[in-house]
Structure 1
Amino acid sequence: MANITLKQIRAFIAVAAEGSFTKAADSLHVTQSTLTSSIKVLEDEVGLQLFDRSTRSVIPTRQGEMFLPTAQRILRDLEDALDELRMAAARERGSVSVCAAGSFITYVLTPALMDLAQQYPGIHTRFTEGTTQSVPDQVLSGEADFGVTTLFEPINELDSALLLTDSYGAVYGADHPLSRETSSLTWHRLSQHNMVRLSKANGIRILLDSEPKIAGLFKNTVYEVSGVASLQALLRRGFGFSALPALAAKSLVVEGLNFRLLTRPAIRRKLYVVKKKGRSLSPGAVAFFRAMIDALENMAPDGAIDVTFTQSEIRDFCGF
């Protein structure tokens, strides 16, 4: 059965439908001898006669009638699958799943989605908010086509490319004592205030904990939360300050909180895009990836956020 071809199945269906080799050959735009040869090879392969032939008509045998619905289904399923591939290649249909930090989703992926939806409305898009640990896990498991996260060391199973870096600063409410200070803020000066920290699973926290000069200043954490939304609630009520990278702090600044860069030392976070090593992205994922790159390039200038990638690096990463 392995030698049966799509050409033979099409010939069989056409002869059954037309009841004539001549008409079937015309409908398939082939010569009658070519069509007859295809049917003979098919019958030899299955070891059965599939048509009763006479001078007046060609009709399927009982075995041919039994095979006809299956042959039609095989052809229909294959043509549907090929149509899906063609539409995916044309970005008329497809899907993409991306896992990233919430701030990156808000300020980069959402504008990218707006552009993608205008160009390719048939592409289904799914965002998942993830942590430094969960983003690589989702990419490796296939739940996400690609992700954006902080990497503290290379992961052998992943391809990665640096997208941007952003500086850490202090975030606090309008009534916090830091609001009355006019000189530059250092980490040491913050040590006299209560720090609201993110959980240890968050890359923002992990980076600070890895800096000896900083970690030693804030050993006694009074308040700890799992996400930026909870952080915002505490800071607005004056529970202290927090230290966040500039992109992560944007949503809090929008809500009326203050953000000031921290010095001595100046700390910058690095955000990487990651995908499975050696695996190409689907057409839908490539389309969204391009929209993401455009969104990054079109971000409003911000001295605390530096878009670092080059087009050649992105081409190497994606392979286009």
Structure 2
Amino acid sequence: MINGSAKPVLPMNFTLREFRVFRVVYELRSFSGASQTLHMTQSAVSKVCQEMESKVGQRLFERSTRKVVPTLLADQLYRHVCEVLGTMDAAERSMRSLLNMEAGEVSVAASPMLCVGLLRKAVTAFHHAYPAIRIGLHELSTDETIDYVVNGKADFGLASIEGAHPKLTIEHVFNETMFVVCAADHALARKRSVSWEQLAAWPQISLHPTFSTRRTVDRVFASRRLAYATAIEVGTVLSAISFAKAGVGVAVLPGYVTELVGEFGMVAKALPAEGVEHPIAIITRHNAMLSAPAARLLDDVRQSLEQGPRATS
């Protein structure tokens, strides 16, 4: 039974302005920092947050003289705020483009090496064809790339993603080959081929688990009932290559980095592809309405990838 004395749930009627202020305060953990970012007075920022708290009937932030700490309710609200504002930001970018190719902005998310190894050709050609359109490349980890697309901070992304996602359309383009990268004087560099079993004997320079490359490596070793030792865990492919060059260990990386590896004077040996799944996919939000520039660049990227990954040796 429903308790007749229970208070009715009142509509909160949040505004987009409140959401925008809330998001900045939440991310900066500071009213003064938010006021500078939003070009508002600190008292105005504080008042907006107080009005939101009045609507929900609970505190969103615990305040002290030195810091602002979000409550559990604010943590939950933040995820929804990002989705709502992401949708609005994407719509604004689309409207600013005026459905033509004479102005506008395109936002793309991918890892740094995906930007260099797989996006560079299409993005460069697009820029030469449409120089008035601003391109924003967000260089992120795999998990951050997914979040940027889900929250509308990027029109589309490029990532190695396994399985489905409830809020994304995932278009698999090809399956990448994995390579072991080592210094030119390393013992593996002299071998005609390298197996995963041989690789397991050498310490590795590993990427953080937020990168799909690390998850692929872990999955392959587990499927073969092999183990490996990590010498150093790093946050970028460039660091992995640099430490491998210094002889600290070897790195297992996707084929799209082999051009850069060669420029570093390193050696890249293809590993057996059997049982290895490292799919490269284009990701967009479900039912996303892309602006004309974003749709054109997405088509260019798709065509570039469908021609096949770059030739590697």
TM-score, normalization: structure 1? 0.63
Identity among equivalent pairs (%): 23
Change (3 A) 1:225 1:239: same
Q: What residue in structure 1 maps to residue 129 of structure 2?
A: 119
What is the root-mean-square deviation of aligned Cα atoms in Å? 2.3
State the 1:118 CA deviation.
Answer: 2.5
Once superposed, which parts of structure 1, at least 4 consecutive aligned residues long, lie more than 4 Å away? Answer: 84-87, 297-301
The CA deviation string for residues 247-295 of structure 1, in whole angstroms up to 9 with x for no partner, is: 1343222221111111274524101111110122111101211221343
Q: How does 1:192-207 map to 2 (within 5 A)?
A: 192-207=201-216
Q: What residue in structure 1 maps to residue 158 of structure 2?
A: 148
Larger radius of gyration: 1
User: Is the 8 Å Cα contact of residues 204 and 232 (structure 2) preserved in structure 1?
Assistant: yes
Change (3 A) 1:161 1:299: closer
What is the CA–CA distance in structure 2 between the aligned matches of 1:239 and 1:180, rounded to whole Å?
A: 18
The CA deviation string for residues 159-192 of structure 1, in whole angstroms up to 9 with x for no partner, is: 110122211121101111112223x211111222
What is the CA–CA distance in structure 1 between the aligned matches of 2:231 and 2:238, rounded to whole Å?
A: 18
Which of 269, 274, 281 does residue 272 from structure 1 map onto?
281
Change (3 A) 1:85 1:132: closer
**In the alignment, does 2:265 pair up with 1:253?**
no
State the 1:222 CA deviation.
Answer: 2.0
Q: What residue in structure 2 maps to residue 282 of structure 1?
A: 291
Change (3 A) 1:85 1:227: closer
Structure 1 residue runs without a partner (length 5+): 1-83, 305-320
State the 1:207 CA deviation.
Answer: 1.4
Which of 98, 122, 135 does residue 145 from structure 2 map onto?
135
Change (3 A) 1:297 1:283: same
What is the CA–CA distance in structure 2 between the aligned matches of 1:275 and 1:210, rounded to whole Å?
A: 26
| Structure 1 range deviating more: 256-265 or 190-199 | 256-265
User: Is the 8 Å Cα contact of residues 187 and 265 (structure 1) preserved in structure 2?
Assistant: no
Structure 2 residue runs without a partner (length 5+): 1-93
What is the CA–CA distance in structure 2 between the aligned matches of 1:169 and 1:299, rounded to whole Å?
A: 17
The aligned amino acid for 1:120 is Y
What is the CA–CA distance in structure 1 between the aligned matches of 2:141 and 2:106, rounded to whole Å?
A: 19
The aligned amino acid for 2:153 is E
User: Is the 8 Å Cα contact of residues 255 and 312 (structure 2) preserved in structure 1?
Assistant: no
Which of 157, 163, 179 does residue 169 from structure 1 map onto?
179
The CA deviation string for residues 79-119 of structure 1, in whole angstroms up to 9 with x for no partner, is: xxxxx969632210011100012222113322222221222
State the 1:303 CA deviation.
Answer: 6.5
TM-score, normalization: structure 2? 0.64
Q: What residue in structure 2 maps to residue 71 of structure 1?
A: none
**In the alignment, does 2:223 pair up with 1:223?**
no
What is the CA–CA distance in structure 2 between the aligned matches of 1:87 and 1:210, rounded to whole Å?
A: 43
State the 1:150 CA deviation.
Answer: 1.5
Q: What residue in structure 1 maps to residue 271 of structure 2?
A: 262
The aligned amino acid for 1:284 is P
Q: What residue in structure 1 maps to residue 188 of structure 2?
A: 178
